[in-house]
Structure 1
Amino acid sequence: MSSEKIESLKVSLKEKGYKLTPQRRSILDEIIKNEGSHLTAEEIYDLVKVNCPEIGLATVYRTVQLLEEMGVIYKLDLDDGCSRYELCDEDEGHQHHHLVCQNCGAVIEVEGDLLEELEHIVENKYNFKIKNHSLKFYGICDNCSSK
């Protein structure tokens, strides 16, 4: 994460009455370091605890919720009973799409927004301004299908 983005985050937190505490910074650092991993709050906790052993799981949950409310991270529901999180990409207008292997649980990110044209059709037909969308495809990944 660029220093500009971190400064922007600090300002945004301050405007909402929060600080970028060492614990919040550690949580954010682990999310950034593991970009593309779709971590659960518990997995983030396990990673942060290595360098910040005094941190509690409740702090991780609260921080993840705060970062989501601020638009820094997205919450993903991959229908596995866990909420997973990933960094928001400023260059993407929407969340990207995911391929989920029903055999091994691998999650593959689909690059590019494949639904822009469909989104415009839906907006026009229903007079509805779409802010975001999420799409998941379920199937068998290449590794599993070649076994």
Structure 2
Amino acid sequence: MSARALSLVITTPLAVIKQVDGVTSFRASDDSGSFGVMPGHADLLSVLRDCVARWKTGKGEWSYCALHGGVMTVENGDTIRIACREGVLGTDVATLEAEVRRHREAVAQEASRARVSEAKLHARAIRQIMTHLSHDQNISVETALDEIFQ
């Protein structure tokens, strides 16, 4: 990698969501505020807050990634690595906002489905336990449940 460009890698625990060479400028935010990184930058370690990271390639194109926190390192003045919980890529800020909203709604719906499945599994386990208990005591499941929940 030349001293005139950076390599950028953004990862989540499950995937590499972006890997790009030829980055000429990079911006993100941590608790001290917004900052920039250009080729040749000193080594750096920063804990990122929820922010929109943006970078420009040698072609002059800007790209964006909404980050849900993360840790960023700059190594040897030519490599930026970001490890984050979640990241949503976009080509402009306006559409990125809508994409983040859709992503968060999808995550919330999946969490809701998981809670419903967990509740059903729990209810099924209780029914199985009650069935075994009622057979041991020669009473119906309904009678056993009535006694428990009085």
Structure with more of its chain in strand, by fraction: 2
Is the TM-score greater than 0.5?
Answer: no
Compute the TM-score of the two structures, normalised by the length of structure 2: 0.25
Q: As a proportion of its length, which structure holds more helix?
A: 1
